[in-house]
Structure formats: structure tokens, C-alpha cells
């Protein structure tokens, strides 16, 4: 203990500190190099990027709009609505004879924005509050825990209904409510990790060196739990995307003619056994690709960020 204090005043200490900053810079650099050496992770980044590009530019290749009904196949979807290049319905049509390709493109846009944006913000909020609760403990911990317990206990449908009654209904409002409802996503995992890590020797040392709480969290605690947070995030994003479909089913989500992956999958799954498998297969496949990509990116990030390799 005493040695630490003397050290703090010494010249050696400031050098050490400088070195640490350099080291931490090189940590991120190393991480990047490590990440790009992971072939699966890089490939997954490309796939994810293609999906984003598909969502943005896919519409240019569509022969139909996402809401237009092809009257010639309406009512005969089972026999004439299957995927075909000739008819211009690359992915076939949905139950109402609307072009599934155009709908998947448009649904990707909604799901990527609602699912991804909402879950990332929710995770950031959950992680922040979790870190604060775990680090400071005591009263602050009790208050944050209490708030999260209350949010999970309130029936979310009611919350959606009330929110929309006051603030109206739109995709951006939907994103906001999704964040509010899920604000404590990952809170417990982060809180638990922080609770463990803050008792570790290196945190004591950092504290004695006079680092601020923020610095300690950022430099010593965060890198040590990034791995698990990234995995949790790659689990949460698909969950939030599917949660949107439940919310839409209950009448407080996306408004037709707009759609989303969750809605398309749910609709496809409903009619799957009646012989229109493509209605499920296409949206499910693109959702699966996204998930596989997230999975490997998460894995790659975890390996790259592992501080023990430092």
C-alpha cells in the first residue's frame, strides 16, 4: 500500500501512466488486427453489409412495390404465387398476392432500424446502468434494481398502448418505446461482472493510483467484460427483432402495408403447413443470415478484445 503511494509521486509513475495509455491505444490496434485475421468474422461483416445494402438498394431491382397487389394471382397464391423470375416475383408473393421480394426489402429496412437501433441503445443503457449499479453498489444499486424490477413487472402492452395514446404512432416512436421497455437489457450481466471485477487486485491498484471511477471502468473493467457483453448483444438483437413481431401482432407495432422480418416470418409460419413454404423460407433465410453473421462477428470481437492476450 505504502509502496503504491510513493510510486504515485514518482517520475516512474508518470512514465508508467503514459506507457499505459500507449498500451491501451495499441490494445485497440491489436484488437483490430486480431479481428481482421478472423476469416469468419470478416466474411460475416461482408454478409451483414450486403444485407444492409440489400435493404437500402434492393428496391431498385423489384418489379413491384411492396403494397401493390398482383390481381392475377390473388386467390391462387398456392398454385401460381411461387417464386419465379418470369413473373417478376423473385421470392414469390404473400397471401394477398403482393411481391414478397419487395416486402422483404422493405421489411429489412424496418427490422434493421427497429431491431438493431433499438437493441443497441437498449444495451448501451442497460450496460451503463448495470456498470453503475455494480460499481457503486449500496443505495444506487437498490434504486437501479428497483427501477428495472418495476419496468419488467408492468405489462408491456399497456405501456405501448399508453405511450401511443400520448405520443402517436410511428416507426420512430416504436423505436423509442422499444428502448424504454428494454432499457435494462443486459443490466444484470454487466452488474454481476462489475461486482466481481471491482474486487480484483488490479482495480484496487488503479484506484490507489488515483484514477477516476470513470477511468477505472473504462480502462480496467470494460475491456474485461466486453467479450460477454458482445455475446449478449448478439443474442439480444435477434430477440428484439422478434419481439417487434409480437408487438405488431398485438396491434401496437408496425402498420401495414409496411412490414418487418418478424411479421413476415410469423405470417409465413402460420401458412407454412398449407403449402406456401416460400412465404416463410425467404424472410427466415435472411433473418438467419443476419444471425449467423452477428454470431461470428460477436465471436470475432470476443477473441479480438480478450485482454488476457495483451
Site for other proteins in 79-138 (CB under 8 A): 95-96, 98, 137
Query: For other proteins, which is the closer residue by CB, 13 or 151?
Result: 151
- C-alpha cell recorded at residue 142: 437498490
Binder among 27, 90, 136, 188 for other proteins (CB under 8 A): 188
Query: For other proteins, which is the closer residue by CB, 13 or 173?
Result: 173
Residues that bind other proteins (rule: CB under 8 A) add up to a total of 74
Cell 398485438 -> residue = 250
| CB-based contact 195:137 (threshold 8 Å) | yes
Query: For other proteins, which is the closer residue by CB, 49 or 285?
Result: 285
Q: Find the shortest distance in angstroms from Cβ 278 to other proteins.
A: 15
DSSP string, 253-310: SPPTT---HHHHHHHHHHHGGGT-THHHHHHHHHHHHHHHHHHHHHHHHHHHH-GGG-
Stretch that binds other proteins, among 11-19, 30-38, 106-114, 255-263 (CB under 8 A): 255-263
Binder among 37, 152, 172, 215 for other proteins (CB under 8 A): 152
User: Which positions ≥6 away from 43 have C-beta within 8 Å?
Assistant: 296
Query: Any contact of residue 72 with other proteins (CB under 8 A)?
Result: no
Nearest to 133 by CA among 189, 179, 200, 202: 189
Binder among 43, 90, 159, 209 for other proteins (CB under 8 A): 159
Query: Any contact of residue 205 with other proteins (CB under 8 A)?
Result: no
Binder among 17, 145, 208, 209 for other proteins (CB under 8 A): 145
- 289 vs 295: CA distance, rounded Å: 10
Amino acid at each position: 500500500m505504502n509502496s503504491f503511494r510513493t510510486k504515485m509521486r514518482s517520475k516512474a509513475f508518470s512514465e508508467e501512466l503514459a506507457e499505459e495509455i500507449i498500451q491501451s491505444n495499441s490494445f485497440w490496434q491489436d484488437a483490430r488486427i486480431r479481428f481482421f485475421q478472423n476469416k469468419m468474422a470478416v466474411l460475416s461483416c461482408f454478409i451483414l453489409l450486403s444485407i444492409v445494402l440489400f435493404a437500402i438498394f434492393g428496391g431498385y431491382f423489384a418489379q413491384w412495390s411492396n403494397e401493390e397487389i398482383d390481381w392475377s394471382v390473388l386467390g391462387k397464391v398456392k398454385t401460381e404465387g411461387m417464386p419465379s423470375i418470369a413473373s417478376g416475383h423473385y421470392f414469390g408473393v404473400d397471401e394477398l398476392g403482393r411481391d414478397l421480394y419487395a416486402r422483404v426489402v422493405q421489411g429489412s429496412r424496418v427490422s434493421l432500424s427497429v431491431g438493431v437501433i433499438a437493441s443497441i441503445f437498449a444495451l448501451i443503457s442497460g450496460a451503463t446502468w448495470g456498470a453503475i449499479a455494480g460499481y457503486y453498489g449500496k443505495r444506487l444499486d437498490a434504486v437501479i434494481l428497483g427501477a428495472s424490477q418495476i419496468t419488467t413487472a408492468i405489462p408491456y402492452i399497456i405501456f405501448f398502448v399508453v405511450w401511443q395514446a400520448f405520443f402517436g404512432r410511428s416507426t420512430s416512436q416504436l423505436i423509442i418505446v422499444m428502448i424504454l421497455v428494454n432499457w435494462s437489457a443486459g443490466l444484470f450481466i454487466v452488474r454481476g461482472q462489475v461486482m466481481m471485477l471491482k474486487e480484483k487486485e488490479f482495480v484496487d491498484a488503479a484506484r490507489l493510483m488515483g484514477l477516476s471511477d470513470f477511468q477505472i471502468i473504462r480502462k480496467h473493467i470494460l475491456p474485461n467484460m466486453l467479450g460477454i457483453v458482445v455475446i449478449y448483444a448478439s443474442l439480444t438483437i435477434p430477440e428484439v427483432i422478434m419481439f417487434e413481431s409480437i408487438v405488431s401482432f398485438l396491434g401496437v407495432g408496425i402498420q401495414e402495408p409496411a412490414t418487418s422480418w418478424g411479421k413476415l416470418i410469423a405470417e409465413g409460419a402460420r401458412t407454412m403447413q398449407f403449402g406456401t413454404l416460400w412465404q416463410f423460407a425467404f424472410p427466415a433465410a435472411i433473418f438467419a443470415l443476419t444471425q449467423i453473421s452477428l454470431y461470428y462477428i460477436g465471436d470475432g470481437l470476443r477473441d479480438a478484445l480478450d485482454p488476457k492476450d495483451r
